[in-house]
Amino acid sequence: MNRHRTERLSRGWAACAAVAALATLAAACSSSSGSATPAATSANLVVGTYGAAKGNLSSLTWDLPYGEPNTIDPPNTAFYNSSLIAANLCDPLLRLNPNYSISPNVAVYRQPNPLTLVFNLRSGVKFWDGSPMTSADVVWSLQHSASPSTAVAFLYANVKSITATGPLQVTVKFKRPDSLFLFEMATFVGMVQEKRFAERAGSKLGSAAGKIMCSGPYELTSWTPGTGMTLTANPHYWSPPGLAHSHTVHIEFDTNSTSIAQALIAGQLNGAYEISPATIPRLRSADNGKLIFGAPSQLYLTLSVARPTGVLASPDVRKAMFMTINRAALAKAAYFGAAIPNYTQMNVGSWKNGSWPAAAQKIFSTAYAGFERQKKSWGTPAAFAAAKKLASAGGYHGQPIVLATLAGDATLAQVAGLIQGWAREAGLNVQIKPMQPLAYSNASYNAKYRAGLDLLIGVTFNNAPSPLEPIGLAYSPGNPYNYTNYHNPKVVADINASHATSNLVEQARLLTAAQAIYEPAYNSQTLVQFNEIMFLTNGLGGATTSFAYMNEPSLALIGSAK
């Protein structure tokens, strides 16, 4: 029986020893400094394309950090994951180049007058099932895109009619000139699918059950919900230069930034776009691949008021909320230097790029400077005090302010945590609500999913290098992206006028005029702007590094670097 005694004693000691070991492990493993990582200087930025695709691959494994697409029906693929897939499967009428110029794709266009667009379809383009693309398919696809239930219907607001004027010709007539329309035809908004297949698929179109019929360089050969997709190269793709370099692509749906980084380092994944900045330090030191910051970029972090009612209905409380945020600190802390602070709803990159003339850029930057001066001091102790006073003047007395974020995204979790911590300094009670990927992406364009939410934080992007798209989306009455049902006739008029003119200096003037009105309403703010972050395994090349990947068959372009 003494044995029992001894073993109990030893058990106690062994337990103590193990705990001590754990503590030592903890001490040994932790880094000495957390913020000493070098910033993403311009030397690290890779403009346009990384490497060259000299050869073919038998297979490529790619991850969608935003998870499984909820649909691949093009007009509803306004999200990173679904858009990437759709762009590899389907052809838009026109092609958007990385520098944002437009080229013909499956159609060439002619504009005989400001209210008419004529698309002449290329002959010999076939869908995966072998049937040829005709004007009937194009008309169906555009009308489908324009139907009220899609996310992009409003982009067709100025369209009067879409008709097939020949077996390979489609004419679009407008009620008012629309300078954005042509551009949108080079994105998922203008993608062509087969009419017969789509009509037969009915409500299942775009789901794992119904799938899709398109003409792109990849065909969707399998989609296992919850697990992954397989894309197979289309041997009959009409455009040889775009022919897929990899025969098979395996798509994974992992959303956890930690495990994605792990998989990249271990070589389980060949790459991914939309890498979470939280994993920058880890991936930067990986030796089996390269972390790439791509420019030009139209990626930015927005904090938007989620609905017109609730605790943030009061403009004073809204302003107080935004006064607590230190944008410069956010850029530094959460993005490891790979971001710059932003002080208006418009992201700076939307006007500070090559597609705007100098005179127009001057108008934008003068207006921006004013807002920068005003908000630069926000998020500091003085601002906290002022915010507290303002909030209580606005009727705030401690109600919870629910901030929705994407579950599994470490950067957004950190950003939300910082916002919450700062808000507390001003007496504002922010509660963080992580949402699973599907619910979160639904919330981004469907008001039903935003019930009970007050703020939505997320990474947003522009299709075009222009503020017209995001501002138009946010401030058109009735638009799903107008979360607060903001309606100001002057703003609407300015935006419509911008759409109608092709004079960019005039557009700049109109947009900044609208900005002067809507900014003080604090419906939404862009907090920081950052570059596209992607990772690519060594030995691969040809990848588009900028955000332009969203509008290209990005996966088809990646091949072996040797």
Partner 1 sequence: MLSTAPTAVLSLVHGRTENGLIRGAAMLSHVRRWIVAPLATLLAASFVLYTAVWLQPGNPLTLLLGTKASPAQYRYLAHKLGLDRPMPVRYWDWLTNAVHGNFGTSLVYKQSVASLIAPRLLTTLLLVGYAGVIITVLGVTLGIIGGMSPRAAPYTAGLNGLGVAIPGFVAAEALTAVFAVKLGWFPVLGTGQGLAGRLQHLTLPAFALAIASIAYVSQITRAAVSVEEQSPHVETARGRGLAGPRILRRHVLRNAAIPIMTVSALTVAGLLAGAIVVEYAFGLGGIGSLLVQSVSDKDSNVVLAIGLILVLVFVMTTTVLDFLQHLLDPRLRLRTAASWH
Partner 2 sequence: MALTARLARGPALLRAGEPRDKPDVIAVIAGCVCAALLAAAIFAPLIAPYQPDTIDATAINQGPSAAHLLGTDSLGRDILTRLLYGARLSLLGPALVTLLSTTLGTAVAIAGSWLGGTADRIMARLLDVLFAFPSILFAVLAVVAFGTGLLAPVVALSVAYTPYIARVIRSAAVHERQLPYIEACQLLGYSSWRTAVNHLLRNVRLLIVAQATITFGYALLDLAAISFIGLGVQPPTADWGVMVSEGDSALLNGYVAESLAAGAAIVLTVVAFNVLGERLAARSQGRQ
Binding site for partner 1 (CB under 8 A): 3, 6-15, 17-19, 22, 25, 29, 63, 70, 207-209, 224-227, 250, 252-256, 258-260, 262-263, 265-266, 268-269, 407-408, 434-436, 438-439, 442, 447-449, 451
Q: Which is nearer to partner 1, 40 or 265 (CB)?
A: 265
Residue 137: CB atoms within 10 A of its CB come to 26
Q: Which is nearer to partner 2, 281 or 308 (CB)?
A: 281
Angle, CA 278 vertex, CA 274 and CA 279 arms, to 5°: 75
Closest to 276 measured CA to CA, from 408, 404, 403, 405 = 408
Helices (H), 34-157: 80-89, 135-146
293, interface contact from partner 2, partner 1, none, CB < 5-8 Å by kind? none
DSSP letter assigned to residue 155: G
Q: Which is nearer to partner 2, 121 or 383 (CB)?
A: 383
Question: Rule CB under 8 A: is residue 39 a binding residue for partner 2?
Answer: no
431, interface contact from partner 1, partner 2, none, CB < 5-8 Å by kind? partner 2
- In the set 250, 282, 352, 376, which binds partner 2 (CB under 8 A)? 282
Q: CA 551, CA 562: separation in Å to the nearest integer? A: 26
Closest to 320 measured CA to CA, from 412, 392, 254, 265 = 392
Residue 201: CB atoms within 10 A of its CB come to 19
Q: Which is nearer to partner 1, 258 or 429 (CB)?
A: 258
Q: Nearest 5°: phi and psi at 544? A: -75, 130
Cα dihedral angle (35, 543, 82, 404), rounded to 10 degrees?
10
Which residue type, as a one-letter code, is found at position 362?
K
Count of residues for the chain?
562
420, interface contact from partner 2, partner 1, none, CB < 5-8 Å by kind? partner 2
Question: Rule CB under 8 A: is residue 26 a binding residue for partner 2?
Answer: yes
Q: How many residues bind partner 2 (CB under 8 A)?
A: 45
279, interface contact from partner 1, partner 2, none, CB < 5-8 Å by kind? partner 2
254, interface contact from partner 2, partner 1, none, CB < 5-8 Å by kind? partner 1
Q: Which is nearer to partner 2, 11 or 200 (CB)?
A: 11
1, interface contact from partner 2, partner 1, none, CB < 5-8 Å by kind? partner 2
Stretch touching partner 2 by CB under 8 A, among 308-316, 329-337, 454-462, 538-546: 329-337
Question: Rule CB under 8 A: is residue 204 a binding residue for partner 2?
Answer: no
Question: Rule CB under 8 A: is residue 42 a binding residue for partner 2?
Answer: no
449, interface contact from partner 1, partner 2, none, CB < 5-8 Å by kind? partner 1
Closest to 352 measured CA to CA, from 341, 363, 343 = 363
Helix (H, G, I), strand (E, B) or coil at 400: strand
| Residue environment code for 522-536, b if the CB has 16+ CB neighbours within 10 A, otherwise e | bbbbbbbbbbbbbbb
Reported in sequence order, the residue ranges of 209-344 that DSSP labels E, i.e. its strands, are 218-224, 228-233, 246-252, 271-272, 289-305, 339-341
Q: How far is the CB of 187 from partner 2 (least distance, A)?
A: 33
Q: How far is the CB of 64 from partner 1 (least distance, A)?
A: 12
- In the set 9, 17, 369, 517, which binds partner 2 (CB under 8 A)? 9
Q: How far is the CB of 37 from partner 1 (least distance, A)?
A: 16
Per-residue CA distances from 206 to 90, 154, 194, 210, 212 (Å):
12, 21, 12, 6, 6
- In the set 3, 6, 30, 202, which binds partner 2 (CB under 8 A)? 30
268, interface contact from partner 2, partner 1, none, CB < 5-8 Å by kind? partner 1
236, interface contact from partner 2, partner 1, none, CB < 5-8 Å by kind? none
Q: Which is nearer to partner 1, 173 or 433 (CB)?
A: 433
Q: How far is the CB of 69 from partner 1 (least distance, A)?
A: 11
Stretch touching partner 2 by CB under 8 A, among 104-112, 191-199, 409-417, 480-488: 409-417
Q: How far is the CB of 290 from partner 2 (least distance, A)?
A: 18
- By the 10 Å C-beta count (0-12 exposed, 13-18 middle, 19+ buried), 433 is classed as middle
23, interface contact from partner 1, partner 2, none, CB < 5-8 Å by kind? partner 2
Q: CA 299, CA 531: separation in Å to the nearest integer? A: 6
Question: Rule CB under 8 A: is residue 240 a binding residue for partner 2?
Answer: no
CB 454 within 8 A of CB 307: yes
Largest CA distance in the chain: 102
Q: CA 346, CA 344: separation in Å to the nearest integer? A: 5
Question: Rule CB under 8 A: is residue 383 a binding residue for partner 2?
Answer: no
120, interface contact from partner 2, partner 1, none, CB < 5-8 Å by kind? none
Q: CA 491, CA 514: separation in Å to the nearest integer? A: 5
Q: Which is nearer to partner 2, 12 or 395 (CB)?
A: 12
Closest to 555 measured CA to CA, from 87, 55, 77 = 87
Per-residue CA distances from 510 to 208, 507, 517 (Å):
44, 5, 11
Question: Rule CB under 8 A: is residue 369 a binding residue for partner 2?
Answer: no
Binders in 419-458 for partner 2, by CB under 8 A:
420-422, 424, 431-432, 434
Q: CA 513, CA 523: separation in Å to the nearest integer? A: 16
- In the set 3, 6, 31, 43, which binds partner 2 (CB under 8 A)? 31
Residues of this chain that interact with partner 2 (CB under 8 A) are 1, 8-9, 11-12, 15, 19, 22-23, 25-27, 29-35, 257-258, 261-262, 278-279, 281-282, 326, 329-330, 332-333, 407, 410, 413-414, 417-418, 420-422, 424, 431-432, 434
